[in-house]
Structure 1
Amino acid sequence: MELGTIERELYVEAAPEIVFDVVSNPDHVKQWWSDDARYETVVGSEGEILFADADGGKVEAFTVVDVQPPTRFSFRWTHPAGEDAAEGNSLLVTFELVPQGDGTLVRFRETGFRERGWTDAVREATYEDHVHGWDHFLPRLVAHATAVGVRS
């Protein structure tokens, strides 16, 4: 079983400019993914993503890596607090946006699981957790971006 990369393709009935804003702007990210998002949409911006739960929640470090409106947004996350995000200590998420008809093809990719140096059991559990998480959140991205596109 490959435990190094999660990839998905999604179609959104909204223009790439709208989808880019939805995947990159913290105000939108809070609507489909995290409970809070604190960062600026500029390369090198460091911040955090917060997920609430019954135990109070989890805060994940977040660093913007690439911003190319309206075609590409990527970030590193899950690195230890106080460390700069880099290959080996974080996961890399990339949204590539391709115009397709009246909408946008979203190519989603999360990498870096093997490079973290985790034991096989930790890598497998984290990978599966992220697979289930993205399977839940990416359809919410599509719904939110479509709704924003309709309002525009």
Structure 2
Amino acid sequence: MELGTIERELYIEAAPEIVFDVVSKPEHVQQWWPDEARYEAVVGAEGEILFGDPDGEGKVVALTVVEVEPPTRFSFRWTHAADEVAATGNSLLVTIDLVPQGAGTLLRFSETGFRERGWEAAVLEEWYRDHSRGWDHFLPRIAPYVATLVEQP
């Protein structure tokens, strides 16, 4: 099994402009992915996402916005140490491309950078499998959330 890139595709019944907001703006992102998202959707912005209760068993993860090209692409680096500048080798890169398709949008997701982290094989496999399971859980939550934002005829 190749442990270098996680890729997923899903179709969403909404215009790319709506889907772009849902995958890029923190107030929408936290409706389908982390419990809280704190960042600006502008290139170079640094922020964080929170899973669970940060004062308890929760986790705070650094995030840096890399690309913002409405309504076709949003990408960010994450998982780097909060005191480091996100770069190849210390973080993972998530890229979300949005392609108009019929009356909706094809969302193409990829997460790369696992091998570049320099982890030993067991750690690489653990991170890859954990993230793969995570995206399998979170990405399917986008379409139902988008549906709550789109007026139904």
TM-score w.r.t. structure 1 length? 0.96
Matches within 5 A, 1:24-43: 24-43=24-43
In structure 2, distance between residues paired with 1:56 and 1:65: 29
User: SS where residue 30 of structure 2 aligns?
Assistant: helix
How far is the alpha carbon of 1:141 from its aligned partner?
1.2
Q: Which residue number in structure 2 is paired with residue 125 of structure 1?
A: 126
Identity over the aligned pairs, expressed in percent? 71
Matches within 5 A, 1:43-58: 43-52=43-52, 55-58=56-59
* Stretches of structure 1 lacking an aligned partner (at least 5 in a row): none
Q: Which residue number in structure 1 is paired with residue 94 of structure 2?
A: 93
* Stretches of structure 2 lacking an aligned partner (at least 5 in a row): none
CA displacement 1:84-113 (0-9 Å, x = unmatched): 000000000000000001100000000000
Q: Which residue number in structure 2 is paired with residue 149 of structure 1?
A: 150
Equivalent position amino acid for 2:148 in 1: A
- The answer to whether the Cα contact below 8 Å between 1:26 and 1:37 also exists between their aligned partners in 2 is yes
Matches within 5 A, 1:74-113: 74-113=75-114
For structure 1, which segment, 44-53 or 128-137, has the greater mean C-alpha deviation from structure 2 after superposition? 44-53
For structure 1, which segment, 136-145 or 70-79, has the greater mean C-alpha deviation from structure 2 after superposition? 136-145
In structure 2, distance between residues paired with 1:145 and 1:47: 24
- The answer to whether the Cα contact below 8 Å between 1:15 and 1:149 also exists between their aligned partners in 2 is no
Aligned-residue RMSD, C-alpha: 1.3
In structure 2, distance between residues paired with 1:113 and 1:86: 12
TM-score w.r.t. structure 2 length? 0.95
For structure 1, which segment, 54-63 or 110-119, has the greater mean C-alpha deviation from structure 2 after superposition? 54-63
In structure 2, distance between residues paired with 1:149 and 1:123: 39
User: SS where residue 121 of structure 1 aligns?
Assistant: helix
In structure 2, distance between residues paired with 1:26 and 1:130: 20
In structure 1, distance between residues paired with 2:105 and 2:88: 29
4+ residue runs over 3 A deviation? none
Equivalent position amino acid for 1:52 in 2: G
How far is the alpha carbon of 1:143 from its aligned partner?
1.3
How far is the alpha carbon of 1:129 from its aligned partner?
0.3
